[in-house]
Amino acid sequence: MASFQSLPGFRDFYPEEFSRRQHIFRVWRQGASAFGFQEYDAPVLEPLELYKTKSGDEIEAQLFSFTDKGGREVALRPEMTPTVCRMVGAKAGALKRPIKWFSIAEFYRYERAQKGRLRAFNQFNADIFGEAGPEAEIELIALLIQCLNGFGLTKDDFYIRLSDRDLWFFYLEALGLNENQARGILSAIDRYEKMGDDAFTGYTEVHGELAAATKEKVLTFLKIKSLGELESTLAPFKSDKLAVRLADWRKVLGGLAAMKLNDFVAVDLGVVRGLAYYTGFVFEAFDRKGDLRALAGGGRYNDLVKKLGGPDLPAVGFAIGDVTTGLLLEQRGLTPRFVTAPDIYVVIGGELERAAAFGDIHALRGAGWRVEYPFKELAFGKQFKAASESGAKLALIYGGDELAKGVVKIRDLTDRSEQEVPRDQVLVCVRDFLSGH
RNA sequence: GCGGCCAUAGCUCAGUUGGUUAGAGCACAAGAUUGUGAUUCUUGGGGUCGCGGGUUCGAAUCCCGUUGGCCGCCCCA
């Protein structure tokens, strides 16, 4: 047993786990690239104030924060949004709009680990800055779907719940509630799925009992499952704000339907998302079976760049986590096999033949082939066994007999056939052989 | 921050009411086998029984603490 273990909630990535992580990163990166997003990165350590400004003081309890040797209050980044807002805000004037950026990075939160949640995890982040219209939401939701489709996940595996914080506020305003009351209701909505009617006790304590008729209307709104229901529910209200939001909803759902993505998206006003900086559409991706926490989440945050000292710049973004994604891929058998096989395994007769083999081995590697050979002198039988177990498609045999004739033997490890080729043609013959498979 | 379950070899686990030097399978390595891959056989390395303390003639086993893991609550950017 080792004297040291990794810290709680942190993971070691041995080669097999690392390859699984790389597969996830590769799919995300391919998706972002296809959508024309540009990759960026940023420091892991940031001023603590950056997160307090965005999320309030209470966030500190869930941060990896400390005082550095220069007396600065710092924190390991718990998310990318404040950082990317700072970066974009600093150069907003020089960046071509719309700004479409993504990153793949590790984040840290000081919380107790549980299923799908660790203290160190990776996230794919994609954001669009400088586009106030719902075109940005269409682009991002389509990208989110692509980033999950890329693993082989289908509409039977996951779906996206789409909601709208502005719509809620405008609706609650139309019902006669003030802004504080509306925030209280949203907080109750957030918990309603889990707690049922008890979710409203917090509201009652602060604002008093919600009128039965109003509550009824809130719950009706919450249960809306389609654009049609949404339109008919809102029809009686003469509100310009609501009409504008409805037009945006038609655009988003229409655009996604035109991309044939409508099966992936569900109208679900039960999603409001925890912290209060979202200003419009919000969305979360979930496993269809529903026993995992959210795969991804995001929404519009039009005020944040300005709040962090930048210009007034509209923004939408989302993040996908690697932990829940990995669990879902595991459940669905979509984890790729761990392959370490070389292309070629070189069998070497003895020390005399080794020098000859080394020249060709290095040339083959220079040509881009993955080539392995035994470090120590080994019996031929052992070497063939090793060649077979390595998963290589072919073996090159450098024995005394062959070299005396000026040839190298190529053995097809799949059907055990062999042929001799002149030594100076090894590269060409290997290329012909491997490209034919 | 709170609660439940758990911790023996790299992995999966056994280990009797507390009793000699803590075991198995798999994996790894060497050999049987000095020019051709299976299977098999032999052998080997690898453990402060998570860590610390206590009870006892004696602790992997019982008790307390602690660290870590899994799971749930809070929270979830």
Q: Cα A61–A65–A68 angle (5° rounding)? A: 150
Residue A291 has pLDDT above 90, yes or no: no
Residue A164 has pLDDT above 50, yes or no: yes
Residue A2 has pLDDT above 50, yes or no: no
Residues in a beta bridge with A211 = none
Query: Residue A413 CA to nucleotide B44 C1', Å?
Result: 31
pLDDT digits (tens, 9 = 90+) for A379-418: 888 899 899 888 899 999 999 999 999 999 999 988 888 9
Query: Residue A15 CA to nucleotide B44 C1', Å?
Result: 27
Q: Which residues does A222 contact at the CB level (< 8 Å), separation at least 6?
A: A189, A192, A269, A270
pLDDT digits (tens, 9 = 90+) for A360-381: 999 999 999 999 999 888 888 8
Query: Residue A398 CA to nucleotide B44 C1', Å?
Result: 31
Residue A202 has pLDDT above 90, yes or no: no
A349-358: average pLDDT = 90
Q: What average pLDDT is seen over chain A?
A: 92
* The pLDDT value given to residue A414: 85
* The pLDDT value given to residue A165: 94
Pairing of strands A265-267, A158-164: parallel
Residue with minimal CA–C1' distance to B8 is A1
The question of ipTM being above 0.85 is answered as: yes
Model confidence, pTM: 0.93
Tokens 């077979």, residue located: A388
Cβ count near A197 (within 10 Å): 10
Query: Residue A114 CA to nucleotide B72 C1', Å?
Result: 8
Query: Residue A63 CA to nucleotide B54 C1', Å?
Result: 38
Fold classification of A15-331 (topology level): BirA Bifunctional Protein; domain 2 (3.30.930)
CATH number of A344-435: 3.40.50.800
Would you say the C-alpha torsion A153, A154, A159, A160 has a positive or negative sign? positive
A281-302: average pLDDT = 93
Residue A76 has pLDDT above 90, yes or no: yes
Under DSSP, is residue A6 helix (H, G, I), strand (E, B) or coil? coil
Nearest nucleotide to A6 (CA to C1') is B68
Nearest nucleotide to A8 (CA to C1') is B68
Q: What region does A60 belong to: left with phi over 0, alpha with psi -120 to 50, or beta?
A: alpha
A262-289: average pLDDT = 90
Question: What is the secondary structure of A402-416 as a DSSP string?
Answer: HHHHTEEEEEETTT-
pLDDT digits (tens, 9 = 90+) for A305-336: 999 999 999 999 999 999 999 999 988 989 98
Long-range contacts of A357-361, Cβ-Cβ distance < 8 Å, separation of 24 or more:
A357/A396, A357/A398, A360/A396, A360/A398, A360/A408, A360/A423, A360/A426, A360/A427
Query: How many angstroms separate the Cα of A172 from the Cα of each of A161, A217, A316, A364?
Result: 21, 9, 23, 70
Dig out the tokens for A92 from the structure. Answer: 């907003």
A105-119: average pLDDT = 93
A231-235: average pLDDT = 96
C-beta separation of A338 from A324 below 8 A: no
Residue with minimal CA–C1' distance to B70 is A114
Least confident range from A118-127, A220-229, A317-326, A331-340: namely: A331-340
Nearest nucleotide to A59 (CA to C1') is B77
Query: Residue A374: is the preceding peptide bond cis (ω within 30°)?
Result: no
Please choose, from the candidates A421, A424, A393, A425, the residue with its C-alpha nearest in 3D space to the C-alpha of residue A409.
A421
Q: What region does A231 belong to: left with phi over 0, alpha with psi -120 to 50, or beta?
A: alpha
Cβ count near A130 (within 10 Å): 18
pLDDT digits (tens, 9 = 90+) for A10-67: 998 888 889 999 999 999 999 999 999 999 999 999 999 999 887 777 788 899 999 9
Query: Residue A117 CA to nucleotide B4 C1', Å?
Result: 18
Which bases of strand B sit closer than 7 A to a protein CB? Answer: 1-3, 8-10, 30-38, 47-51, 67-77
Structural domain spans, chain A = 15-331, 344-435
Residue with minimal CA–C1' distance to B34 is A379
Q: Which residues does A382 contact at the CB level (< 8 Å), separation at least 6?
A: A374
Query: Residue A259 CA to nucleotide B31 C1', Å?
Result: 65
